[in-house]
Structure 1
Amino acid sequence: MPAGDSMFVLVLGNTEVSTIPGISVAGATPELTKLTPPADAEFLFFEKPRIVDVIPVTPEGHPTPAIITKAARELAGFPVMVVRGGTYLAPLIPHVHISDAVGRDFRKGPALPEAGEIIARAKLFGEELGKAPLKELVIGESTPGGTTTAQAVLWALGYDAKTSSAAPENPQSLKEEVINEGFKRAGVERGSLEDRPLEALRQFGDPMMVTVVGLALGFKGQVVLAGGTQMLAVSALLKALGEEVGRFMIATTRWVLSDGSATFSSTAREIGVMTYSADLDFSKSEFKGLRDYERGYVKEGVGAGGATWLAIKAGFSPEDVSAKVEELYRGLMEMKAP
């Protein structure tokens, strides 16, 4: 498929769940996770974000996976459209506004009372994209705390799934404690919303999830869900809504596949969705921040696997993408140097 037949869409979302201490490392502190989605989007267009003066990092200083997406884009030149599904702040770049509703802490009440309205808006946008000469949408995401909301939705739909984490030590016990508290509040048990996917979204979802579901409902071509275990929840929701799973594929990275604390491959098989894994390798990088990807840090995000998929379709290799990431990271280090 020629590169001109595809568009990369980055959906931004925030959830209050990311501010629970220990849940997310998609930001140097829990509070800074509020800025990560717009900063990730801006970094794709500029040398560094505008909304904050540094690129998003983990508490240990590992760079956002947006650096992979940026590298793939600079190689392949594919178009990027940013969509605000629901964030605290808008990115300081041209973008499509779907909603500014942030997902609530589902332990205290429904996560997204506006879920139906957000899906309707996103579906309308997906239908418009379907009128363009596009055969494929590659949809990535930046959503701190999103693996917890994804696991809650998967459990509500009846999947015995464990989602991944941007940390090498997956805070699975904390996730389960938070989810069980939310289930108790909502009077829900595992699988009890199997036939009510929209209610699962309303109770436990996040703005990214509802926006991607809406886009995928509206756009009737091929949809590549560019992400890790969060996109399992999106796939499960689309299946529960009666969509043909065969037109969807999840594009992720090999670091997600090799995460023994999560159930990516088995849950994907259970849903029946195809998967692709970008075979990137930073083991020989001169930078510790990148070598640590091989130790389980970060793994995926900002559509890294899907962006690599587009670069490979354009004739580049995973090694080309890895080398470009190295080049971009070197530039960042030089900018930081006095």
Structure 2
Amino acid sequence: MKSLFLLVLGNTEVSLIPGISVAGATPELTKYTPPADAEYLFYDKPKIIDAIPVTPEGHPTPAIITKAARELANFPILVVRGGTYLAPKVPHVHISSIVGRDFRREPALPEAGEIIERAKLLGQELERSGIEELVIGESTPGGTTTAQAILWALGYEGKTSSASPNNPQELKRKVIEEGFKRAGIEFGGLKENPLEALRQLGDPMLATVVGVSLGFKGDVVLAGGTQMLAVAAILKGLGEDLSRFMIATTRWVVEDKSATFIKTAREIGIISYAADLDFSKSEFKGLRDYEKGYVKEGVGAGGATWLAVKAGFSPEDVVRKVEELYRKLIS
């Protein structure tokens, strides 16, 4: 087996802060988003809730892109529970059920080291299985805020994206500054200690992806948007050579003027691929709105498209398959 797609699920209490995440119709429903995303990849609809995850305005989860790419290219998927409120109702590897805490009030992830070590074991086992490339996606509501906090703690002036066209950067800044004050740190204050940054400000998805990436010594495609910049920054801070790593995202993340994807990737020193998907001519408003800045990325959409393109399919093929899946969903 040459490539394996890993979907790492994580939750953080940060997603319950009103206005910070639209990866669910309400803040409370963000608890269900990661397992529902995973289930939708295997079934016609999730088992844990009776609908696919949507934004408050009703835009479909990016899992629909990952599912479309997978149906075309038929790549294997392994679901990993990094730390969630609820377990997905599909076969999965359990790393932890620890949810990231609200870092304004307490350290976000005191168990970061333990999670990394467990995930590292998984990476080592995948290495032994003969897999040459891991493509690691994620589903973590609120994760762009924890990622931005990590970047700032490590000295990168990065701005992460949002699943909303109105990126709540002012709210993120306020939340992160409260976390820094609680932890007694300043911008760049944990540059020499990335694990402490994870403990104070991170989430279980970040810790799991870092651990798997340390354990697996082949090529790693970090399939996500600006959250994977934080993973790359942590790995670099731990002395890892980033030449075997790449971030695969979507053009919506790269073109997001409220974020700093390309600039921050260059500062960290990691190459990237952007899936050239275009929903502007879709018959469905929920998909056309991706072109207005809704959703953008998640559930490894860019990395799944990368695998489909490597298998000989075009981004247009992926878009057509997404349309087909969406038509099935709404009927």
TM-score w.r.t. the length of structure 1 is 0.98
SS at match of 2:200: helix
Deviation at 1:201, TM superposition (A): 0.1
Alignment of 1:89-100 (within 5 A): 89-100=86-97
Q: Partner of 2:33 in structure 1?
A: 36
1:213-242: CA deviation from partner (whole Å, max 9, x where unpaired): 000000000000000000000000000001
Distance 2:278 2:322 in 1: 10
Q: Partner of 1:325 in structure 2?
A: 322
Among 174, 188, 194, the alignment partner of 1:177 is 174
Among 272, 277, 296, the alignment partner of 1:275 is 272
Deviation at 1:133, TM superposition (A): 1.5
Q: Partner of 2:110 in structure 1?
A: 113
Distance 1:160 1:268 in 2: 11
Among 145, 149, 154, the alignment partner of 1:148 is 145
Amino acid at match of 1:241: L
Note if 1:194 corresponds to 2:178.
Answer: no
1:238-275: CA deviation from partner (whole Å, max 9, x where unpaired): 00001001110000000000000000000000000010
Among 72, 78, 81, the alignment partner of 1:81 is 78
Deviation at 1:162, TM superposition (A): 0.4
Q: Partner of 2:292 in structure 1?
A: 295
1:5-56: CA deviation from partner (whole Å, max 9, x where unpaired): 0000000000000000000000000000000000000000000000000000
Distance 1:86 1:314 in 2: 32
Distance 2:182 2:268 in 1: 27
Q: Partner of 2:232 in structure 1?
A: 235
1:128-151: CA deviation from partner (whole Å, max 9, x where unpaired): 000011110000000000000000
Q: Partner of 1:17 in structure 2?
A: 14
Calculate the aligned-residue CA RMSD, in Å.
Answer: 0.3
Distance 1:133 1:77 in 2: 18
Q: Partner of 1:218 in structure 2?
A: 215
Q: How many residues align?
A: 331
- Structure 1 stretches of 4+ moved >6 Å: none
SS at match of 2:225: coil
Distance 1:208 1:222 in 2: 19
Note if 1:207 corresponds to 2:214.
Answer: no
> Unpaired segments of 5 or more residues in structure 1?
none
Amino acid at match of 1:271: I
Amino acid at match of 1:152: A
1:76-124: CA deviation from partner (whole Å, max 9, x where unpaired): 0000000000000000010000000000000001000100000000001
Distance 2:330 2:154 in 1: 44
TM-score w.r.t. the length of structure 2 is 1.00
Note if 1:137 corresponds to 2:122.
Answer: no
> Unpaired segments of 5 or more residues in structure 2?
none
Q: Partner of 2:247 in structure 1?
A: 250
SS at match of 2:35: helix
SS at match of 2:91: coil
Among 310, 313, 318, the alignment partner of 2:310 is 313
**Kindly, what percent of the aligned residue pairs are identical?**
78
Distance 1:132 1:320 in 2: 31
1:265-319: CA deviation from partner (whole Å, max 9, x where unpaired): 0000000001000000000000000000000000000000000000000000000
Distance 2:169 2:262 in 1: 17
Distance 1:247 1:274 in 2: 10
SS at match of 1:130: helix
